Structure 1
Amino acid sequence: MKPPAHDLDFSVSAGHPDPLGATWDGEGTNFALFSANATHVELCLFSPQTGREVARIEMPEYTNEVWHAYLTGIRPGALYGYRVHGPFEPEAGHRFNPNKLLIDPYAKALSGRFSWSDALMGYRVGSGREDLSFDRRDSAFAVPKSVVVDPSFVWGDDRAPDTPWQDTIIYEANVKGVTQQRSDVPQTERGRFLGLVAPAMLDHLVKLGITAVELLPVHAFVDERFLVERDLVNYWGYNSIGYFAPDPRYLAGPGVAEFQHMVRRFHSAGIEVILDVVYNHTAEGNQLGPTLSFRGIDNVSYYRLSSENRRFYTDYTGCGNTLDTLHPRVIQMILDSLRYWVETMHVDGFRFDLGAVLGRTRHGFDQEAPLMSAMRQDPVLSRVKMIAEPWDTGHGGYQLGGFPPGFGEWNDRYRDTVRRFWRGDGGVTPEFAARLLGSAELFDKRGRRPSASINFITAHDGFTLADTVSYTAKRNEANGEDNRDGHSANFSFNCGVEGKTDKPDVLARRCRQMRNLVATMVLSQGTPMLLAGDEVANGQLGNNNAYCQDNEIGWVDWPLEGEEDRCNQQRFVANLLRFRREHKVLLQTRFLHGGEREDGEVDVRWLAPEGGEPDNGHWGDSNWRCIGLLLRVAADAPDYEADDDALFIIFNAGTSETAFTIPDARENHLWHEVFSSATADGTPDIVHIVMGGMEIPVEGQSVLIFREESKRWPPFNNGPRDDA
């Protein structure tokens, strides 16, 4: 069917094969689309007023597997899509169907919401031949339109904070979830990019001590059909369909300026922006999924197909398909996307969902795989923060510690070990000690630093901090999957009562355990990551997989204006993060291995409660739950100074009080207690000033910190302060 006549004023010429996508030059727009196997390509233009197709232009030129055209008179705001012709041979991997309107993989913006319909399928739904059949219905009415964009923006004096890795504090947040219930954010900005940088929100993050906001996926994404049929949505956004376009649901108006404004405001507050990106799969699913973009443009180039039958997809993601990150054009698309978000949108880094896919070759994971090698040497990308979720769902997909220099990695072993230690599990203390020092056995190679370990207790995927100390089992019934989804091994503990309770003793214990967990993370070597809402003890009613809960379950439940949050947690976290910033020994750029320094001291020592260093009997004792850690600046630190301060930290996961013998301080120095997790804000009720050999009581389930200070009176207390 031909589109109706139109009154658009444009002329068509060959244009250029690069750059890919729609590029406006002030007079017209160049369109370029890669497809190695198409026979011809049609560019479709749509009315911004009615959304109807008003022109269809056959791309006049084909150069180096790129179809291209230049349209004079087509300006920013123009809506377009593609119809790509070619063989429909699913068993050979080809799924061309020109009846399906396709999103430009390089579209910088999308207009309109995605609407589920059988017409989106390249095959006839209900046919006995399934995806081998061919569907002739037009899908344009159900597909968002690509938008020609002018991404220029007045950045002024915008500068990236360029926060050193060792100083970085990451705050993981969902754009909507973190702002939707904040009464001090304007109603029209809640749930959008602009809401993240509302004055009250920025003030909160700055006072808390956050240096980088890591946003759950903001690339354009699709709500899966099975969720829509349950009146749910893909709240987290891990179902991308466009790697250059911000999702329209986070924008109040057209274009991309709102995102750029958000970044500029974050930078002015000294906060970096890190994007969670999903370059492992797309929203098109398996062979029974919709034809929205890549599948209809060149299925065999964009996806990994089964070597046994190219009708089917290789699935390392659990989402039906896997992008072929070995194909040169897929590598180009990912690199172009990353550079676009850095150069045009000014973001400061990326967290790669199921990052092991990036390193998959034909023979398994390889840290020198083409895509990762290209990213590491790229003059733009090598300057920004790169964080991998170091696993995928395929065989050999767990690669914690296996990424090359330049990458940080989500350390789930840190999460599980710290939870188990404070839960009181036996035999965990030796591994707990390794996690406190940056997991050197995993990361201390090839010049990597302790900051490569992204230490977290909670993340979007799993229990919140409050639920970790309130539930022993997940409560995911609201997801509509009979509680089968989500992790079952949560290493959580309910402190005596499952779920909500009014019992004062249980609530007090939960508050203390939350403080212990956060304190451990902040005092560990590595890069701490805080889940949005944990600073106010936000809960999700025990749901540890709230990916589809775009409602009060998934949104952060902020305290009412003027009210304290549960447990006074926000003030505690702010004080603790300030304490970390002020103590160099917590920001090491070298791994600590007990090396001797110029002053004869060693950079790290473990201590047993009775005094002295633990022996094999301690390390092998499954009931040993109280350990001391003495930290000094690493012997080989480039900025080593002999008079740098030292910290002595005691972690007692046991339920009873333990007498602990204090180690010797340097000559003319004493140990001053500066922190205790037994109090709501971390300020000790009684400040102990002690010398080596003295014995002090350590409450059960608590963390104490002593700072080594010169003998003087009154003592200088540089511990957490109650002024957040």
Structure 2
Amino acid sequence: MERTLLPGKPYPLGATSSPQGTNFALYSENATAVKVCFFDESGKQVDCIALKERTAFVWHGMVRHIKPGQRYGFRVDGPWEPEKGLRFNASKLLVDPYAKALAGEVDWKAPIFPYDIESGDDTKKCGKDSADGVPKSIVIDSTFDWGNDCPPQTPIADSIIYEMHVRGFSKNNPEVPENLRGTYAGLAHDASIGYLKKLGITAVELLPVHHFIDEGDLIDKGLRDYWGYNTLGYFAPMSRYSSSGDDGEQVLEFKQMVKRLHQEGIEVILDVVYNHTCEGNEKGPMLSMKGVDNTTYYRTLQDNPRYYMDYTGTGNTLNAYNPQVLKLIMDSLRYWVSEMHVDGFRFDLASTLARELHDVNKLGAFFDTIHQDPTLADVKLIAEPWDVGDGGYQVGNFPVLWGEWNGKYRDTVRRFWKGDSGQLSEFAYRLTGSSDLYQGDGRTPAASINFITAHDGFTLCDLVSYNEKHNEANGDNNQDGANDNDSWNMGAEGPTDDANINNLRERQTRNFLATLMLSQGVPMLAGGDEFSRSQRGNNNCYCQDNELTWYDWKLDDSRKRLLEFTAKLIALRKEHPNLHRRRFFQDRQIRGSVVRDVAWYGTDGNELSDETWGEGWNRSLAVMLNGKTLGVMDEDGHQVFDDSFLIIVNAADQGVEYMLPEPPNGVPWKQVLDTENIDDPFSEAEVAEKVIVGGRAVRVYSDCGEHVGQAEKHRPAKTL
């Protein structure tokens, strides 16, 4: 069929289908020619048309008779001057940076490198056609019946975030049909959603689902990328997670998943990687933006543009300082909110996006643009507040409206329960919302995304089972992954038959989970930690798409106990606004003050002195949270009240006797949680004036004592 080319429009960028055909638009400042090439399902090129129109650096044209489902790619010509950062090579097929779906895998044996790979000289141009080794972009039909889809919009302060992997979560679940396991449809299945609801999750945070590729060296080792931090397309859902494959139906399946989760009150947060792409440095492949316009899309060295700035440890850094690249990022974010209905984003290595000339700038263009965008006004924005460059560690320094992965929370809580000395004061700040990090700039405790484990590092089970990493399966001689994990194996490396060690590990796991759910801020639970998922000591499973990372749903008695414990903890937290306050305690520092809404006590029942805070040997304390001082109103203008809580933590090996302080409201304390009690940790009990809190245990008392399920007596806090 003859392809008729019309002028078309420069916007929107990418491929836009209509009854007349498909409009193609590609931004390239330095190109001299652009062609759009079409392929059949076998990968054979069937046509190639030059785009004649160029408007404000956008090459565009409307091609008649091109319908949804058509596979395509770009060929971009221009100067080959690597010393200036210009690496145009029309023999290389390029993925559309705005492609909404992709088909096919990268073939590393194909000539996908723009230079002579045999000599290794990146300044020597390679003229071989790469089309057979490059994924093809797909024209999609964007129509979808969202019906009455209504995002839950759970206030961030009330959120329980569950970090999970789409594939790993359901891949081994026998309750999910085999053909749906490990897919978007598998996550949307009744068995998956029923589990998340029973656990009490309000939001799933999905490891990257933007289309990514496997590195060639992993394929050579018989491995492949599992985490997904190797992005090729910022608009395309990963086809590997689609039960229908890579025929373009992955877009529909993703939308169906989001719609189904929303129907059950669960939000969808995406882990996004706008700091770098899969194209690597000057020795990397040419798959998309490197060939479209290298110096526009990537940050190159000012004094030698042949080479790349690398704030990410991956070889390149996306040039978010460039207005067009910032537009691409914003267009991508808006697309996932407007067209795919996601509810928020966790930004990988977010400090990189805030770098302008070099330094991280929280008043920079990236933040200004996001804060002014009405499409993003109601979505959750979470930063991983660091990168690998100088000055990249920015915990506590992101602007208002942003939450942060609180790395200091993770490190402090691990060290405290491991028994490290001198952690008491730091632990107190983390338990009460990290006011030292977030209080002074208009933010609330919800700015602190609290986590103890995440995809990167040990699982919670491994944190209490291994002193050292065991990453041999990754094929790098155990040289990869972090060496300092603040872990403790309790006396045996890995699994053991020692009952005492296993009991202690189980108790320590409950201590970590209790700390996470009783802390002010927003808890993020790493998927599988609620039933003691293990990766056998591997703390860098980025390349383990197998049984090592897939959730094991065969639960023995101890794992079932932990799952039940976690669900009850989450329910306890959700029922009590006193455990997830919207404001910091009195807007004052913890130490050295007598406050009416929070107080810290020693074993004698008296408030801790400055001297006691400084005692490095001390590994135990009590904190009282007064439920009558929340300082918020409900929708009817009434003050919100809640139970008061007394939380005692003891990281020492031996039990500690406590004289309980007087309840703040004159109602006797009742015990509502004891992590030392393996059989029934939530059993309620009357208490005497003195109690003995066991070694390595958490004890919680309430001035009401009524158990989970009595939420109706608490007036819900107003959404602020």
Q: How would you bin the TM-score normalised by the shorter chain?
A: over 0.9
Query: How far apart are residue 634 of structure 1 and its match?
Result: 8.0
**Distance in structure 1 (CA, Å) of the matches to 2:708 and 2:185:** 37
Tell me the distance in 2 between the aligned counterparts of 1:650 and 1:26. Answer: 67
What does residue 673 of structure 1 align with? 671
Q: Distance in 1 between matches of 2:270 and 2:615?
A: 43
Report the equivalent of 2:199.
Answer: 208
1:237 pairs, out of 228, 231, 241, with 228
Q: Do 1:575 and 1:681's aligned partners in 2 also have CA atoms closer than 8 Å?
A: no
Equivalent runs, 1:425-436 vs 2, <5 Å: 425-436=420-431
CA deviation string 1:202-251 (max 9, x = no partner): 11000000000000000010111111111111110000010000111011
Q: Are residues 1:94 and 2:86 paired?
A: yes
Change (3 A) 1:70 1:495: same
Amino acid paired to 1:101: L
| Cα separation, partners in 2 of 1:654 and 1:567, compared to 1, 3 Å | farther
- Whole-angstrom CA distance in 1 between matches of 2:447 and 2:439: 9
**Aligned position for 1:477:** 472
Code of the aligned partner of 1:509:
L
* Amino acid in the other structure paired with 1:536: F
How much does 1:123 deviate? 0.3
Q: In structure 2, what is the Cα distance between the partners aligned to 1:619 and 1:567?
A: 38
State the partner residue of 2:717: none
CA distance in 2 between counterparts of 1:567 and 1:620 reads 40
For 1:668 and 1:147, how far apart are their aligned partners in 2?
Answer: 67
User: What corresponds to 2:648 in structure 1?
Assistant: 650
Contact residue 626 and residue 664 of structure 2 kept, 8 A: no
Query: Within 5 A, what are the aligned runs for 1:283-302?
Result: 283-302=278-297
In the TM superposition, what are the counterparts of 1:83-482 in structure 2 within 5 Å?
A: 83-127=75-119, 130-253=121-244, 254-255=247-248, 256-482=251-477
Cα separation, 2, equivalents of 1:15 and 1:157? 34
Q: Which moved more, 1:83-92 or 1:175-184?
A: 175-184
- In 1, are the aligned partners of 2:672 and 2:684 still within 8 Å (CA)? no
Aligned to 1:37: 30
Indicate the residue corresponding to 1:602 in structure 2.
596
SS of the aligned residue for 1:390 comes to: coil
Partners of 2:435 and 2:356 in 1: CA distance: 27
CA distance in 2, matches of 1:122, 1:201: 44
Are 2:12 and 1:14 aligned?
A: no
Separation in 1, partners of 2:680, 2:390: 45
Give the whole-Å Cα distance in 1 for the aligned partners of 2:219 and 2:595. Answer: 62
Change (3 A) 1:77 1:699: same
Q: What amino acid does structure 2 have at the position aligned with 1:377?
A: Q
CA distance in structure 1 between the partners assigned to 2:77 and 2:358 by the alignment: 33
Partner secondary structure for residue 702 of structure 2: strand
- One of 10, 21, 29 as aligned partner of 1:28: 21
CA contact (8 A) 1:221 1:240 kept: yes
**1:678, CA displacement in angstroms?**
1.4
State the Cα distance separating 1:363 from its structure 2 match: 3.8
Change (3 A) 1:683 1:370: same
Distance 1:667 1:226 in 2: 64
Q: From the superposition, tell whether residues 199 and 135 of structure 1 become closer, same or farther in structure 2 (CA, over 3 Å).
A: same
Match of 1:629 in 2: 623
C-alpha separation in 1, matches of 2:256 and 2:63: 30
Contact 2:15–2:139 under 8 Å retained in 1: yes
What code does the residue aligned with 1:144 have?
P
Does the Cα contact within 8 Å between 1:16 and 1:30 map onto a contact in 2? Answer: yes
1:55 counterpart letter in structure 2: D
Distance 2:482 2:631 in 1: 40
SS at match of 1:313: coil
CA-CA distance at 1:445 after TM superposition:
2.5
Query: Which residue does 1:586 correspond to in 2?
Result: 579
Asked if the contact 1:230/1:480 (under 8 Å) is kept, the reply is yes
Residues 590 and 634 of structure 1 are in contact (CA less than 8 Å); yes or no, is this contact kept in structure 2? no
How far does the alpha carbon of each residue in 1:385-426 deviate from its partner, in whole angstroms, 9 at most, with x for none? 000000011011000011101111001111111011111111
C-alpha change, 1:501 and 1:32, in structure 2 (3 Å) is: same
Residues 536, 559 of structure 1: 8 Å contact kept: no
| Higher deviation after alignment, 631-640 or 507-516 | 631-640
**548, 552, 555: which one aligns with 1:557:** 552
* Structure 1 residue aligned with 2:718: none
Asked if the contact 1:45–1:81 (Cα under 8 Å) also holds between the matched residues in 2, the reply is yes
Against the structure 1 CA distance between its residues 664 and 47, is the aligned structure 2 distance closer, same or farther, given a 3 Å change threshold?
same
Task: Describe the superposition over 1:621-674 as per-residue Cα deviations: whole angstroms up to 9, x where unpaired.
Answer: 111111001012485723284853211110011111111111112454111111
Q: Alpha carbon RMSD of aligned pairs, Å?
A: 1.8
Change in 2 beyond 3 A, CA 1:717/1:199:
closer
Q: Distance in 2 between matches of 1:273 and 1:666?
A: 40
User: Is the deviation greater in 634-643 or in 176-185?
Assistant: 634-643
Given candidates 498, 504, 512, the residue that maps to 1:509 is 504
- Is 1:537 the equivalent of 2:532? yes
Change in 2 beyond 3 A, CA 1:686/1:35: closer
Q: Secondary structure at the match of 2:538?
A: coil
Partners in 1 of 2:506 and 2:709 — Cα distance? 20
Alpha-carbon offset, residue 439 of structure 1: 0.8
Aligned AA for 1:84? V
* Matched AA of 1:637: G
Q: Which residue pairs with 2:715 in the alignment?
A: none
**Structure 1 residues 309 and 165, CA gap change in structure 2 (3 angstroms):** same
Deviation (angstroms), 1:161: 0.4
Q: 2:168 aligns to what SS in structure 1?
A: coil
Distance 1:583 1:629 in 2: 16
Distance in 2 between residues matched to 1:295 and 1:716, nearest whole Å: 61
Quote the sequence identity (%). 48
| Consecutive unaligned residues in structure 2, runs of 5 or more | 712-720
Q: TM-score, normalised by structure 2?
A: 0.95
Cα drift, residue 564 of structure 1: 4.0
How big is the shift at 1:719? 8.4
Could you list the per-position Cα deviations for residues 422-471 of structure 1 after superposition, in whole angstroms to 9, with x for gaps in the alignment? 11111111100010011111111322110110100100000000000000
